[in-house]
């Protein structure tokens, strides 16, 4: 997906997978040499703390950030911790008995599903797609809880894409050069031989 986006933008990229467990001792040092951070699918991660610290690092440093599927879920958890004062935000996949998890099972699993997504006018995702709606692929069974979704209205992280039922499917920060997270997986377009516009926008945001 990165290669196709780079080719579309006429750029050359190098990338490296960084284990979340390796970031427990300090994401700032472990990620300092990178120009962008993508928190990819694959949760539950080996280290929730490492994933959250990587997202914090991208947020605080203004490093272009993309989170997809599990990355979306953990971006919301990091926001709950840093902005809403939740010391230990819970993910129901990891803590099924948590009293008030930020991330809960979806009413209907989206593993292997496709669906329409509507973008907020003027949002970064809408500009990337250059349209109001798109059909996207999913492979997930967890999302933002209904209670916590209401708290996004206070910003600075805000919902900028919803599905046909009004469920949050993407968020972004207005106070950051590029901070976008989606529950759907734009990278799956590469399996069909396509460069995805959101990943192209992520690549374009890299200095």
pLDDT above 90 for 207:
no
How far apart, in whole angstroms, are the C-alpha atoms of residue 158 and residue 148? 12
- Residue pair 55/75 in contact (Cβ under 8 Å)? The answer is yes
Question: Phi, psi (5° rounding) for residue 198?
Answer: -70, -40
The tokens of 89 are what?
């935000």
Q: pLDDT tens digit string along 57-102?
A: 999 999 999 999 999 999 999 999 999 889 899 999 999 999 999 9
How far apart, in whole angstroms, are the C-alpha atoms of residue 143 and residue 91? 9
What confidence score (pLDDT) does residue 203 get?
Answer: 97
How far apart, in whole angstroms, are the C-alpha atoms of residue 92 and residue 98? 7
What confidence score (pLDDT) does residue 1 get?
Answer: 96
Binned at pLDDT 50, 70 and 90, residue 108 comes out as confident
* This prediction's pTM: 0.95
Task: Indicate the average pLDDT of the chain.
Answer: 94
Binned at pLDDT 50, 70 and 90, residue 141 comes out as very high
pLDDT above 70 for 153:
no
């Amino acid at each position: 997906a990165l290669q196709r986006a780079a080719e579309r933008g006429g750029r050359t990229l190098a990338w490296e997978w960084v284990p979340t467990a390796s970031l427990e001792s300090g994401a700032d040092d472990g990620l300092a040499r990178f120009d962008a951070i993508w928190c990819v699918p694959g949760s539950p991660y080996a280290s929730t703390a490492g994933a959250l610290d990587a997202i914090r690092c991208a947020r605080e440093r203004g490093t272009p950030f993309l989170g997809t599927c599990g990355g979306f879920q953990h971006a919301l958890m990091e926001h709950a911790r840093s902005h809403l004062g939740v010391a230990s935000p819970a993910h129901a996949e990891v803590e099924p008995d948590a009293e008030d998890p930020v991330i809960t099972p979806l009413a209907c699993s989206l593993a292997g599903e496709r669906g329409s997504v509507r973008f907020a006018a003027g949002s970064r995702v809408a500009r990337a797609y250059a349209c109001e709606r798109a059909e996207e692929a999913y492979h997930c069974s967890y999302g933002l809880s209904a209670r916590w979704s209401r708290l996004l209205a206070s910003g600075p992280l805000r919902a900028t894409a919803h599905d046909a039922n009004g469920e949050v499917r993407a968020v972004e920060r207005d106070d950051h050069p590029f901070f976008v997270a989606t529950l759907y997986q734009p990278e799956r377009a590469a399996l069909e031989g396509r460069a995805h516009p959101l990943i192209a926008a992520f690549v374009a945001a890299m200095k």
